[in-house]
Structure 1
Amino acid sequence: MRENNENIVWHESAVTKQERRTQNGHQSFILWFTGLSASGKSTVANALFHSLFQQGKQVYVLDGDNVRHGLNHDLGFNEGDRKENIRRIGEVSKLFIDSGQIVLTAFISPYRQDRNLVRNLVEEEEFLEVYVHCSLEECEKRDPKGLYKKARKQEITHFTGISAPYEKPENPEIVLDTEKNSIEECVEYLLNVLKQKQLI
Structure 2
Amino acid sequence: MKKKNISWHEGKVEKENRQLLHNHKSVLVWFTGLSGSGKSTISVELEKALYEMGIHTYRLDGDNIRHGLNRDLTFSEEDRNENIRRIGEVAKLFVDAGVITLAAFISPFKKDRRFVRSLFSEAEFIEVYVKASIEECSKRDPKGLYNKVQMGEINNFTGIDSPYEIPESPELLINTEIQTIEESVKQIVHYLQNKRLL
SS of residue in 2 equivalent to 1:128? strand
- CA deviation string 1:41-94 (max 9, x = no partner): 000001000000111111010000000000000001010000000000000000
Map of 2:37 onto structure 1: 39
Normalised TM-score (structure 2):
0.98
**1:139 alignment partner in structure 2:** 137
Q: Quick one: distance in 1 between partners of 2:46 and 2:25?
A: 16
Alignment check: 8 A CA contact 1:134 1:178 kept: yes
Matches within 5 A, 1:5-84: 5-84=3-82
Structure 2 residue ranges without an equivalent (≥5):
none
Equivalence for 2:170 = 172
1:152 and 1:159 map into 2 onto residues whose CA distance is 11
Structure 1 length normalisation: TM-score? 0.98
Structure 2 counterpart of 1:107: 105
Shift of 1:39: 0.3
1:82-161 aligned at under 5 Å gives the runs: 82-161=80-159
- Contact 1:152-1:162 within 8 A present in 2 as well: no
Q: Following the alignment from structure 1 to structure 2, what is the Cα–Cα distance between the partners of residues 26 and 154? A: 48
- Quick one: percent identity of the two aligned structures? 55
CA offset digits 1:109-166 (Å, max 9, x no partner): 0000000000001111110100000011100000011100111222101110111100
Are 1:45 and 1:105, in contact at CA under 8 Å, matched by a contact in 2? yes
Aligned-pair distance for 1:4? 2.1
CA distance in 2, matches of 1:13, 1:99: 12
Number of equivalenced pairs: 198
Opposite residue 132 of structure 1, the aligned amino acid is V
Partner of 1:192: 190
Q: Residues of 2 paired with 1:191 and 1:67: CA distance?
A: 25
Could you give the per-residue CA deviations for residues 172-199 of structure 1, whole angstroms, max 9, x where no partner exists? 0000011101000000111111100111
Aligned-partner Cα distance in 2 for 1:152–1:107: 22
8 Å Cα contact 1:76-1:82 kept in structure 2: yes
What's the Cα RMSD here?
0.7
Structure 1 runs (4+) deviating above 2 angstroms are: none
Structure 1: gaps spanning 5 or more residues: none
